[in-house]
Amino acid sequence: MGLQFIIAEDAPEHNVSGSKRLSSAFGCPEEIWREYKDNLSFPLDIYSLASDLGLVVRYRPLDNEISGFLKQIDSRWTATINAIHSESRKRFTLAHELGHFLLHTKGQDDKEFKDTTFFRHEDNVGTINDYSREESEANHFAAKLLMPKEEFIEAANSLKSISAVANKFGVSPMAVRIRSQNIHK
């Protein structure tokens, strides 16, 4: 059985049932959860949320070390997600790109944000460079959006395994481990 790709020429039409068009003015995932908690559930429908916030989402096979990227295409911010990655990786990547969209795109029409496995580093003088800072902010945004603090703590205390917590939030076990280490940040 070969790999199947979801390749869309245009953004898929996602819409949270019964929701109004969401504002892209959010600066943190907690604001999204506070404002729209009645329409959001676990695992979060990140695809509908991104669409409702005005982000175009498309899937393409990319080099394995590239999870996704965000850039303007035809005057619209577009998240391109690696179609060959696992569903949990695609979900986290989209939440990460949504973080860039909400946190870093104002006045940045020509900027591109690329999520690679190699961005997590410090420069040669031991300080975080601007690229790493923005990537780190987008990762924290994604983790907080997909695994909100209160719900994460409740799930971690009530479920029997890391895998069960990962399944509840639609993320990888590694994302659960990292979130548990950074829960108070």
Q: Is the pLDDT of residue 57 over 80?
A: yes
Q: 130-146 vs 87-104: helix axis angle to the nearest 10?
A: 120
* Cβ atoms of 52 and 15 closer than 8 Å: yes
User: Which pLDDT does position 27 carry in this prediction?
Assistant: 64
Taking the C-alpha atoms of residue 129 and residue 145, their distance in angstroms, rounded to an integer, is 24
pTM above 0.95, yes or no: no
* Rounded Cα distance, 144 and 7, in Å: 28
Question: Domain coordinates of the chain in residue numbers?
Answer: 29-147
In degrees and rounded to multiples of 5, residue 68 shows phi and psi of 175, 175
pLDDT category of residue 86 using cuts at 50, 70 and 90: very high
Q: What is the mean pLDDT of residues 22-38?
A: 70
Q: What's the CATH class of domain 29-147?
A: mainly alpha
Judged by average pLDDT, the poorest of 6-10, 55-59, 74-78, 86-90 is 6-10
Instruction: Give the mean pLDDT of the chain.
Output: 78
**pLDDT one-digit tens code per residue, 123-181:** 433 444 555 888 889 999 999 999 999 999 999 999 989 999 999 999 999 999 999 99
